[in-house]
Amino acid sequence: MIAGLESILDGFELGVPSERPIDELRALRHELDAVEVGLSYGRRMAQGRLDILLCELDRRSGDGTAELIALLPDVLSQHLRGAGMPRPLRDVELPSFADHIVDELDVLLAPSELGSLAELPVERLHAAIDDLRNAEREISQQRREAHRMIDELQEEIIGRYRSGAASVDDLLK
């Protein structure tokens, strides 16, 4: 379990978006976008490690002719794009909690273990796979919650523009 991950979104109380000023909605959406970026990064880091371990496990069960290093480009490119509509790319810094996610992933599977998978016992591979799957599942759940909150804020902002309660001209001032 990623320490403190459940509390990342706890600080974001949407309340009733229709009762908040539009500037607050935009600021909150911007903050949640940064949180989503950090969660996406952590999720990709967990998925990459998991994919490498699964590939090593598969390599061991096969004829053993393919070296893991030769397989890495294909393994790591499997999750380049998820299902659904892509969100626009943003130029944002990773929030500091993204480093904490990576630190926790390093506890689940040490970089030294990742660098010497051929020497790891199969039981350790299975345990690390289970741990990383659980971590990825937890990060994904938090990321879905961030998306839900962002979408809720975005719907309120768009609704205000459509109804005339907010004006694009206000943004240009």
Tens digit of pLDDT at every position of the chain (173 positions): 566 677 778 777 778 888 888 998 999 999 899 999 999 999 999 999 998 898 888 888 875 555 655 665 666 666 555 566 665 665 668 998 999 999 999 999 999 999 998 899 999 999 999 999 999 999 999 999 999 999 999 999 999 998 988 887 777 76
Phi, psi angles (nearest 5°) of residue 15:
60, -140
d(C-alpha 106, C-alpha 114), whole Å: 9
d(C-alpha 128, C-alpha 112), whole Å: 13
E strands within the chain?
none
d(C-alpha 24, C-alpha 129), whole Å: 41
- Torsion of Cα atoms, 36 then 42 then 47 then 48, to 10°: 130
Among 147, 144, 137, smallest CA distance to 2 is for: 137
Cα 140 from chain centroid?
6
Question: What pLDDT is stored for residue 57 in this prediction?
Answer: 86
